[in-house]
Amino acid sequence: MFLQLRDLESELDEERKAKVNAVNSKKKIEMDIADLEEQLEGANRVKEDGLRQLKKYQQQVKDIQRDLDEARHARDEISEQAKENERKAKQLEADYLQMQEVRSGKRFLWARDSQWYQSPTKKHTDCS
């Protein structure tokens, strides 16, 4: 019986040690879980912050794209206006040259018809 008692005490000690180990393991696992939950919360905060930043950058890209489109449109309009102005300037220059030719022709006619014009057959006469 003494031997049986020793065996039971030994068995009880082993069970107590196993229970202490199990409790310690449980506490360690609970601490690990709490740490992982904390890390998860931190990762979720970082993710949310990243998503906010992404939305902000996407809006900036949209704004920049809109500004670029507007600038391209304005550039195209200015280019078209410059071409139109150049065409008008060339037309004005041509009109001016034509007017100069007409004016020169009129001067020639005026000079020819005036008393100061010397024809090859007439001598220059003074009006005085």
Residues 33-68: tens digit of each pLDDT = 999 999 999 999 999 999 999 999 999 999 999 999
Query: What are the C-alpha distances in Å from 95 to residues 87, 99, 104?
Result: 12, 6, 14
Q: How many residues does the chain have?
A: 128
Residue 109 predicted with pLDDT over 80? no
Over range 80-87, report the average pLDDT: 98
Over range 111-123, report the average pLDDT: 55
Over range 111-118, report the average pLDDT: 57
Which pTM value belongs to this model? 0.51
**SS3 call for 17:** helix
Give the pair of three-digit tokens for residue 20. Answer: 């202490």
Q: How many angstroms separate the first and last alpha carbons of the chain? A: 173
- Cα distance between residue 127 and residue 102, in whole Å: 28
**SS3 call for 127:** coil
